[in-house]
């Protein structure tokens, strides 16, 4: 990511000095930079890196989150002038960024935490950049960040979103949504593969066709490409030789943890994290398969139109949850986060970019802070497609095809429009065993059931 971002910066005409702790990596990077090498100064030490940059400096860290960031800050700070700016552009936990910004500001040093999305290709040719820290520090580097960012119809996808860890929080939630979006696509793939006995090449055609419709997105596009790919070693479809065990570096889990702290319901994102965790339980899944056997997955009554519609509804509900979490965080931390700005910055460059995000930006502009499932632009889309989601979840359950993210999206939808829910039972139980009290429908106050008197 650091190499790709550096080439992007050089290509936009800015001079850049680069350092990597493995010196050979710096050298081979420079040797392979082609014409862009003219703009690049390779440095073997942090001291020479600092000496190569004209003050006031701006230095971007692109290393794994956690200790490596603190180690790099500790190594760099003594070499820098007071107003030199350090920018952490990795996927930091926003609590760490809050701490680092506070520590830097205590010593009158500027520090920014920015979320960068788009993978290596995005970093090289135009990522989405979610800025956090002081706005004055952002303005110092905004011309560079805007120049290297993706462009959506002339607007750069690089925006300052708020103080301290706001940018990294937004990037974390971006990744949480990414997990759920990917999981829903994987569930639909599973229905096509196991329920409809479709081969990867046929599945590829479906994703590619859907990419011309309401589901148009980078993730649907690459799902078509990976479904079409062939393993050069065996000649088999590549998907058929990949182990079904998902990796994860932590941002999905952080999203779920922060949502729990904030009391924000994001069941589809949580289901996606849980699904990755279950995927990693290979030995346990083997035991489960041995004991309970492989069920029949007959799902012939599911057609491709139903799948597309179900995915449209699931996607809207997953984004509704992610944006609702952002609003909860903004309210709780007094960030004054602009949801239209977040939707706009995600329209291009990032992994979750999609045509729907432009509509989401408009929806939040028209109806600020609403839940997306209540935004008039999305109400009609949900009404058109909700029945398909319901039908798919029911048919998938009957065919023993797990669709945890899609089914939790459906439950979210049903619960969010249920005017008489079932938590009265929870309240009665809580009062019964712990005298926690309950409120009544017919009058104000705090009450106990008759068991309290015995
Ligand atoms: N890959 C992706 O698609 C994306 C990644 N990110 C984030 O960007 C950051 C970098 O990711 P990525 O480029 O994929 O990771 P890589 O593992 O490819 O690169 C990590 C870099 O950090 C250096 N590094 C590792 N540990 C230390 C340390 N303790 N001190 C100093 N340098 C260290 C490595 O140096 P060396 O070469 O010597 O090992 C290497 O240059 C992460 O925070 C990641 O979450 C963000 C968006 C997308
Ligand atoms: O930030 C990213 C994309 O937006 C990185 O690719 C990140 O590594 C994805 O998360 P994970 O590795 O947990 O799947």
ipTM summary value: 0.98
Q: What is the pTM of this model?
A: 0.97
User: How crowded is residue 84: how many other Cβ atoms within 10 Å of its Cβ?
Assistant: 18
Active-site positions? Answer: 171, 178
Nearest ligand (C-alpha, residue 353):
2
SS3 421: coil
Per DSSP, the residues of 308-335 read HHHHHHHHHHHHHHHHHHHHHHHHHHT-
Domains and CATH numbers, the chain: 2-164 (3.40.50.720), 172-416 (1.10.1040.10), 423-453 (1.20.5.320)
Q: Is 248 in the pocket of ligand 2 (CB under 6 A)?
A: yes
C-alpha distance from residue 42 to each of 16, 53, 76, 175, 187 (Å): 9, 11, 17, 32, 45
Per DSSP, helices labelled H in 229-371 are 251-262, 267-279, 282-292, 304-333, 339-345, 355-366
- Give pLDDT tens digits along the chain (454 positions): 999 999 999 999 999 999 999 999 999 999 999 999 999 999 999 999 999 999 999 999 999 999 999 999 999 999 999 999 999 999 999 999 999 999 999 999 999 999 999 999 999 999 999 999 999 999 999 999 999 999 999 999 999 999 999 999 999 999 999 999 999 999 999 999 999 999 999 999 999 999 999 999 999 999 999 999 999 999 999 999 999 999 999 999 999 999 999 999 999 999 999 999 999 999 999 999 999 998 999 888 899 999 999 999 999 999 999 999 999 999 999 999 999 999 999 999 999 999 999 999 999 999 998 999 999 999 999 999 999 999 999 999 999 999 999 999 999 999 999 999 999 999 999 999 999 999 999 999 999 999 987 6
Q: Which residue has the tokens 């460059």?
A: 349
Burial category of 331 from C-beta neighbours within 10 Å (exposed 0-12, middle 13-18, buried 19 and up): middle
SS3 357: helix
H-run or E-run covering 132:
strand 128-133
The whole-angstrom separation of Cα 290 and Cα 224 is 33
Span from the CA of 68 to the centroid of ligand 1 (angstroms): 9
Q: Is 71 in the pocket of ligand 1 (CB under 6 A)?
A: yes
Choose the residue to mutate in 2, 62, 91 for probing ligand 2, maximizing ligand atoms within 8 Å of C-beta.
91
Choose the residue to mutate in 1, 49, 248 for probing ligand 1, maximizing ligand atoms within 8 Å of C-beta.
1
Q: Is 23 in the pocket of ligand 1 (CB under 6 A)?
A: no
3-state helix, strand, coil in the chain (%, to 5): 60, 10, 30
Q: Which atom of ligand 1 is nearest to the CA of 21?
A: 38
Q: Which residue has the tokens 């990077």?
A: 29
Q: By the 8 A CB rule, do 302 and 395 touch? A: yes
E-strand ranges in 140-273 read 151-152, 155-156, 158-162
């Amino acid at each position: 990511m650091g190499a790709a971002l550096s080439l992007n910066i050089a290509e936009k005409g800015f001079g850049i000095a680069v350092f990597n702790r493995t010196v050979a990596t710096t050298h081979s990077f420079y040797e392979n930079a082609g014409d862009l090498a003219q703009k690049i100064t390779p440095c073997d030490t942090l001291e020479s890196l600092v000496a190569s940059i004209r003050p006031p400096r701006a230095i971007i860290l692109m290393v794994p989150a956690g200790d490596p960031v603190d180690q790099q800050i500790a190594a760099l700070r003594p070499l820098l002038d007071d107003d030199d700016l350090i920018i952490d552009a990795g996927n930091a936990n926003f609590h760490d960024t809050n701490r680092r910004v506070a520590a830097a500001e205590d010593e009158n040093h500027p520090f920014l935490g920015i979320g960068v999305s788009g993978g290596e290709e995005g970093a090289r040719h135009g990522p989405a950049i979610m800025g956090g820290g002081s706005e004055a520090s952002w303005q110092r580097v905004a011309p560079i960040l805007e120049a290297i960012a993706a462009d959506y119809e002339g607007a750069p996808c690089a925006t300052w979103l708020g103080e301290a860890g706001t940018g990294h929080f937004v990037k974390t939630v971006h990744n949480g949504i990414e997990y759920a979006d990917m999981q829903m696509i994987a569930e639909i793939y599973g229905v096509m593969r196991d329920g409809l006995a479709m081969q990867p090449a046929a599945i590829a055609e479906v994703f590619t066709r859907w990419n011309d419709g309401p589901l148009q997105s980078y993730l649907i596009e690459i799902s078509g490409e990976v479904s079409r790919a062939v393993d050069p070693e065996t000649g088999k479809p590549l998907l058929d030789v990949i182990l079904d065990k998902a990796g994860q570096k932590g941002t999905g889990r952080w999203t779920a943890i922060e949502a729990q702290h904030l009391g924000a319901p994001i069941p589809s994102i949580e289901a996606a994290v849980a699904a990755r965790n279950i995927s990693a339980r290979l030995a346990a899944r083997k035991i489960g398969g041995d004991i309970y056997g492989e069920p029949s997955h007959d799902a012939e009554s599911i057609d491709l139109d139903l799948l597309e519609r179900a995915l449209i509804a699931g996607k809207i509900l997953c984004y509704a949850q992610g944006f609702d979490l952002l609003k909860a965080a903004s309210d709780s931390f007094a960030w004054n986060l602009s949801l239209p700005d977040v939707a706009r910055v995600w329209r291009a460059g990032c992994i979750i970019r999609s045509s729907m995000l432009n509509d989401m930006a408009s929806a939040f502009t028209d109806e600020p802070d609403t839940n997306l499932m209540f935004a008039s632009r999305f109400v009609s889309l949900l009404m058109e497609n909700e029945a398909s989601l319901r039908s798919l979840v029911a048919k998938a359950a009957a065919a023993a095809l797990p669709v945890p993210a899609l089914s939790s999206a459906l439950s979210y939808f049903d619960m969010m429009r249920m005017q008489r829910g079932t938590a009265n039972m929870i309240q009665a139980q809580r009062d019964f065993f712990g005298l926690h009290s309950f409120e009544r429908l017919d009058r104000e106050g705090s009450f106990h059931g008759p068991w309290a008197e015995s």
